[in-house]
Amino acid sequence: MPWFAGLLLLTGGPILASLFLSFTDFDLLTTPSWVGLDNYARIMDDPHFGNAVRITMIYVVASVPLSGGFALLVAVLLNRPMRGVGVYRAAYYLPSLLGGSVAVAILWRQIFGPDGLVNDVLSAFGIVGPSWISTPEYAIYTLVALHIWQFGSPMLIFLAGLKQIPAELYDAAAVDGAGKVRAFFQITLPMLSPIIFFNLVLQTVNAFKAFTPAFILSGGTGGPADSTLFYTLYIYQEGFGNFRMGYASALAWILLLVTAVFTALAFRSSRYWVHYAD
Amino acid sequence: MSDLSRRGFLRVGVAAAGALALAGCAGGGGGSGGAASMQFAWWGSTARHNATQQALAAFRKKRPGVQVRTQFSGWDGYWEKLATQTAGGNAPDVIQMDYSYIGEYARRGSLLDLGPYLGKGLDLSGFAKDVVDAGKIDGKQYGVNFGINSMALIWNRTLAKELGIEVPETFTWPEFGELSKKIAEKAPKGVYASEDGAQDGGAFENWLLERGKMFFTPDGKLAYDEKDLTEWFTFWDGLRKAGAAAPPDVQATAAGDVQNSLVATRKAVMDFAWSNQLTAYMSVTKDDIAVHAFPTGDKPGQYYKPSMLLTVSAATKRPQDAVALVNALVSDTDVATPLGSERGVPPSSAIRAALEPKASPSEKLVYAYIESLSDKVGPLPPPQPLGAGELHNKVLMNVNQQVGFGKLSIAEGVSRFFDEAHRVLK
């Protein structure tokens, strides 16, 4: 089982190492020294911690439902028989292939910059737009927009799910006089609920882990005024920028626990709204 | 140089692309470099990358057996990468180091003491004594001065002329404020007299030194208090409110390299910078760019600083070759000539004498500027304690942004800064 050895060495090893380091004072350059729970105590009175949690929660809460809803909408539209549907599906999937990349984040910086595309369009309507990425109130939402734009992967999964719904159900509903909207809420959504659940969990975990867009958009600072300081970016700054790898490891373990709690909550709630057709 | 031909432009582009490809190889190469291979890392702009590749070509000719792999980037990301490499035991053999970080690395045992090599492979005889001493931490020669610079107010002379402004020979900080407000009255919307200097560590240090204070005492404690920082923030808050200093959302667009700076993008007449950066400024704009001393005060606020230092990793497997490269970069005319004064005025008098006649107009300005300060500079402040770089680069900027955007009052910002100082300094 070579893959298992790989998992153990390349993933398990670092995970255990970071657990150990989270109980040490480790500055990257000298030997770690054991400090017990000091790092976890330090988190309690760190003003950046609360801010990073707040920013990350805004990102998760805003981007997961919006991108999921958008992906579902597009999937439903692309599920209808029409000419050249394959081309459309490929075209809509494209941003997901590029989305996590550095190049797109740089492109985003141009689009939402003071002289960017968005403000060019606004100025055509006589509106003078702010510099979206360098104003704390808006910067985080440009990142949310970037996330929504990458709806391709959940869209594909939704599409596969839509194909699984037996056509007889819709035929029967039509015979009974149900309209399109009624059919969507009474048939499509319940039949799709396992897929929705799957996407919800996956997208939530991904949103908690988001790093690249904030790093590129803010030049690694999480600025302006900490408004894009994602939790992962803060971990990176503390560990690699400020020589506090022990503290960064403790922060990383908190993230793991929080993500696990959210996933557990999603699983717990699933019995009330996810319907398995078996 | 103003109308660079298309071919010349292409050539620079191709050279830069080639250099990037080289860097890529160096990054992933690992131990593939053969027997006599070592790595040299630096940060800088494209102009510096090209000049350094030329210097290394000259070095390779002199020591054909030694292969030098290169690794370079902008300032952003350089320190994270260096820390990671050092932790992993893969530190570059020769490391371009900043004065605010040399203490962190030297005191944690990551740098080689170059003292034993002095006169035996490392020839610093052309350096003035204080220029040599600028590379010492706790009495040991961990670094070699790689260029002399000083704080400098970079200003856009073309823009000033368009606005009909005369910049006087010298001015104090209050006079700087008055001048900025006068410029603001004449400037169109979206153009400011000055960048927001409140977040600039160099400007703040200069202001402190002129009042007889400084960043740190020799034993590494903060040497200024809440009152000083309150006054500093209040001064700049007034300038921002008068439209004389750039507001925070405009200032935030200036992050990163010189090409984003407000002087280069014509959003401000004056930037707080370092004298050696004049070359980089001139390379990114067609405007006429000039250097001016910082505002003056009762005591000298400026000093001659090592713009950067050359250091050798304590983990290097080829200390002789690494020292030879350091030595060639600072004291071998053939190798040092392509570098010019882009990293600051060369510390060796012999190199200076060789370069000055061939200096470009921007380099001549830098030489003249450094020379003109000779009777106005104070002593170099002592090397800084652990966490100093973080405090006066990142924390100061962050707190100033919080104040600028109105998230914290000045009083709250000041107390946040000192809380953070307590957390950050060791």
* Rg over CA atoms, chain A: 22
Q: Which residues of B touch A (CB under 8 A)?
A: 76-77, 79-80, 83-84, 86-87, 104-105, 108-110, 248-250, 252-253, 255-256, 386-387, 390, 394, 397-398, 401-402, 404-405, 407, 416, 419, 423-424
> Residue B349, SS3?
helix
Decide if B380 contacts B130 (C-beta within 8 A): yes
Furthest-apart CA atoms within chain A: distance in Å: 75
**H helices present in A134-179, as ranges:** 136-149, 152-164, 167-175
* Residue B65 burial (C-beta neighbours within 10 Å; 0-12, 13-18, 19+): exposed
Grade residue B76 by pLDDT with cuts at 50, 70 and 90. Answer: confident
The answer to whether B253 contacts A242, with C-beta atoms less than 8 Å apart, is no
Decide if B103 contacts B385 (C-beta within 8 A): yes
The answer to whether A27 contacts B402, with C-beta atoms less than 8 Å apart, is no
For residue A249, which of A4, A3, A16, A47 has the smallest C-alpha distance? Answer: A16
Dihedral of the alpha carbons of B326, B329, B331, B333, in degrees to the nearest 10: 150
- Which sign, positive or negative, has the C-alpha torsion B50, B305, B198, B294? negative
For residue B418, pLDDT beyond 90: yes
**B214-254 confidence digits (pLDDT tens):** 999 988 899 999 999 999 999 999 999 999 999 999 998 88
Residues 6 or more apart whose Cβ sits within 8 Å of residue B15: B50, B53
Instruction: Report the residue from A114, A236, A241 with minimal CB separation from B79.
Output: A241
- Least confident range from A140-149, A159-168, B30-39, B385-394: namely B30-39
Residues 6 or more apart whose Cβ sits within 8 Å of residue B158: B287, B288
Joined together, the tokens standing for residue B370 give 């450094």
pLDDT value, residue B139: 92
Angle separating helix axes A245-273 and A189-209, nearest 10 degrees? 170
**B285-331 confidence digits (pLDDT tens):** 999 999 999 999 999 999 999 999 999 999 999 999 999 999 999 99
Instruction: Report the residue from A46, A221, A240 with minimal CB separation from B255.
Output: A221
Angle separating helix axes A136-149 and A102-111, nearest 10 degrees? 130
pLDDT value, residue B143: 96
Residues 6 or more apart whose Cβ sits within 8 Å of residue A1: none
Which positions in chain A touch B86 (Cβ < 8 Å)? 28-29
pLDDT value, residue A227: 92
What one-letter code names the amino acid at B231?
E
Strands B305-306 and B140-141: unpaired
The answer to whether B86 contacts A28, with C-beta atoms less than 8 Å apart, is yes
pLDDT value, residue B32: 40
- Least confident range from B11-15, B130-134, B167-171: namely B11-15
Q: Cα angle vertex B378, ends B374, B381, to 5°?
A: 130
For residue A48, which of A58, A59, A56, A36 has the smallest C-alpha distance? Answer: A56
The answer to whether B252 contacts A134, with C-beta atoms less than 8 Å apart, is yes
Decide if B29 contacts B21 (C-beta within 8 A): no
- Give the whole-angstrom CA distance, residue A52 versus residue A144: 15
Joined together, the tokens standing for residue A82 give 């029409």
pLDDT value, residue A251: 97
Q: Average per-residue pLDDT in chain B?
A: 88
> Residue B365, SS3?
helix
The single residue listed with the structure tokens 């990102």 is A59
Which positions in chain B touch A223 (Cβ < 8 Å)? 252, 255, 397-398, 401
When pLDDT is averaged across residues B92-121 and rounded to a whole number, the result is 94
Decide if B323 contacts B312 (C-beta within 8 A): yes
Which positions in chain B touch A226 (Cβ < 8 Å)? 398, 401-402
Of B259 and B16, which is predicted with more confidence? B259
Grade residue B36 by pLDDT with cuts at 50, 70 and 90. Answer: low
Decide if B128 contacts B345 (C-beta within 8 A): no
> Rounded to the nearest 5°, which phi and psi values hold at A211?
-140, -55
For residue A103, what are the CA distances in angstroms to A98, A135, A140, A146, B238?
8, 22, 19, 12, 39
| Residues facing B151 on adjacent strands | B274
Joined together, the tokens standing for residue A67 give 């991108």
The number of CA neighbours under 13 Å toward the Cβ of A54 is 7
> Residue A10, SS3?
helix
Lay out the sheet containing B309-312: strands in order across. Answer: B67-73, B37-43, B94-97, B309-312, B143-145
For residue B134, give the H/E element and its range.
none
Q: Which residue of A has its CA nearest to B425?
A: A242
Residues (pLDDT < 50) of chain A are none
Query: Please, which residues 121-150 of chain A have a Cβ atom closer than 8 Å to chain B?
Result: 130-131, 133-136
**A57-107 confidence digits (pLDDT tens):** 999 999 999 999 999 999 998 888 888 888 888 888 887 777 667 788 888
The answer to whether B253 contacts A134, with C-beta atoms less than 8 Å apart, is yes
* Residue B321 burial (C-beta neighbours within 10 Å; 0-12, 13-18, 19+): buried
> Residue B156, SS3?
strand
Q: Which residue of B has its CA nearest to A115?
A: B253
The answer to whether B401 contacts A131, with C-beta atoms less than 8 Å apart, is no
pLDDT value, residue B259: 84
Grade residue B71 by pLDDT with cuts at 50, 70 and 90. Answer: very high
For residue B9, pLDDT beyond 50: no
Helices (H) and strands (E) in chain A, counts: 15, 2
Grade residue B30 by pLDDT with cuts at 50, 70 and 90. Answer: very low
* Residue B84 burial (C-beta neighbours within 10 Å; 0-12, 13-18, 19+): middle
Decide if B312 contacts B94 (C-beta within 8 A): yes
What one-letter code names the amino acid at B219?
D
- Give the whole-angstrom CA distance, residue A52 versus residue A222: 9
Q: Is the peptide bond before A224 cis (omega within 30 degrees of 0)?
A: yes
Joined together, the tokens standing for residue B382 give 């002592």
Decide if A210 contacts A59 (C-beta within 8 A): yes
Q: Which residue of A has its CA nearest to B111?
A: A29
